[in-house]
Amino acid sequence: MTLWLIFALMTAAAIFAVLWPLGRKPRTERAGSDLIVYRDQLEEIDRDRAAGLIGETEAEAARIEVSRRLLAAADTQPAAPLALSAVQPVRRRRAAAIAAFVILPLIPLGFYLGLGSPNVPAQPASARVNAPQGDQPITSLISQVEAHLARNPNDGAGWEVIAPVYMRLGRFDDAVEACRKSIAFNGDTPTREANLGEALVAAANGVVTAEAKEAFDRAMAGDQHDAKARYFLGLADEQDGNREGAAAKWRAMLDDSPPGAPWVAFVRTALARVSGAPVVTTGPSAGDVAAAGDMNDEQRTEMIRGIVQRLAERLHTDGNDVDGWLRLVRAYVVLGDRDKAKDAVSDARRALAARPDEIRRIDGLVKDLGIEG
């Protein structure tokens, strides 16, 4: 509606501009009126001479001057009748006015109907710019981004956008370069460092190179909970033959994982690979949580005891998990089984006897809980 109103105003302005000069009245011919004036002047000269107001010499000079002007005015009078000369301009003005009213609106309307899209709903410019170009192949879109980056090599946002696309397409060397430029132009963050490390690992056919490990270490320095960096550092330990170090990193990662984290199943598989034993979850499963809603207090306590028992069985099979021992001791204290908590402390100290740092963590927990002795 707004567009049509604008068109109407523009058309009205154009018609007004054309009709304004056409509506002005033609200048009347002055020749006829001049002849009458000059004749009256001659008669007035004769009256003044008869009344003795002027002398004969002055009267004759005045007659000569007025007669000269009268002859000049007579020579400039048009030969054609005034009525005929006035009719022709009026006809031309009417024709021009009709053309202005008809042709001026039709010309822009014809262009709009031919070139525009009057039946397409209105859409903001931002929506048209950001609309997905589903009919355009991904290679064409990538080519456009690459052409833009060739013209604007310092566009950090462009490099950050295209880096994961390169990863998905298997263009790992290009992904490494894009990640490096993203860090250079956008700044160093844990996420960008972890993405660079991942691209370096992919470019090295899955090997965590020294350069990739440095990138993951920088990511961990900025965020101790960066999942990608934690996983690949564990993978680096595994590739270096340090299976226990890899298992410790991945167990800690599972312990800190939020509910529903997408990497949990993947990390469990990796942990089972290096520990040689199936990984048992330390918390209730989705089925356990659903069933707990229909239980009374006694039934829920028994369910929790079963979960704690499964944790204890796992730790007696593989006692290298210091975080598992810490959870087990706390669980026994919460359940009121202080004797079992003390037994778990003793078992943990024996299993971790070769790791004094981890023994100190156990001792610290014992002191905090007040279960020593």
Q: What is the pTM of this model?
A: 0.43
Q: Which of 115, 138, 153 is the last residue of a domain?
A: 115
Q: How many angstroms separate the CA atoms of 311 and 321, rounded?
A: 11
Q: Show which of 51, 80, 115 is a domain's final residue.
A: 115
Residue 295: inside a domain, yes or no? Answer: yes
364 burial class (0-12, 13-18, 19+ CB within 10 angstroms)?
Answer: exposed
Question: Which CATH number fits the domain that encloses residue 356?
Answer: 1.25.40
- What's the domain range around 315? 291-373
* One-character DSSP codes across 137-172: -HHHHHHHHHHHHHH-TT-HHHHHHHHHHHHHHT-H
**Looking at the domain assignment, is residue 323 inside a domain?**
yes
Q: Is residue 17 part of a domain?
A: yes
pLDDT of residue 124: 47
In a domain, 106, yes or no: yes
For 82-118, how does the pLDDT look when each residue is reduced to its tens digit (9 = 90+)?
A: 444 444 555 666 666 666 556 656 666 665 655 555 5
Q: What is the pLDDT of residues 271-329, one digit of tens each?
A: 888 876 544 444 444 444 444 445 555 665 676 677 778 888 888 887 888 878 888 88
Q: What is the pLDDT at residue 287? A: 46
Boundary of a domain, candidates 115, 143, 172: 115
Distance CA 170, CA 141 (A): 17
Task: Count up the domains in the chain and report the number.
Answer: 2
pLDDT number for residue 28: 47
368 falls within a domain? yes
- 172-182 confidence digits (pLDDT tens): 999 999 999 99
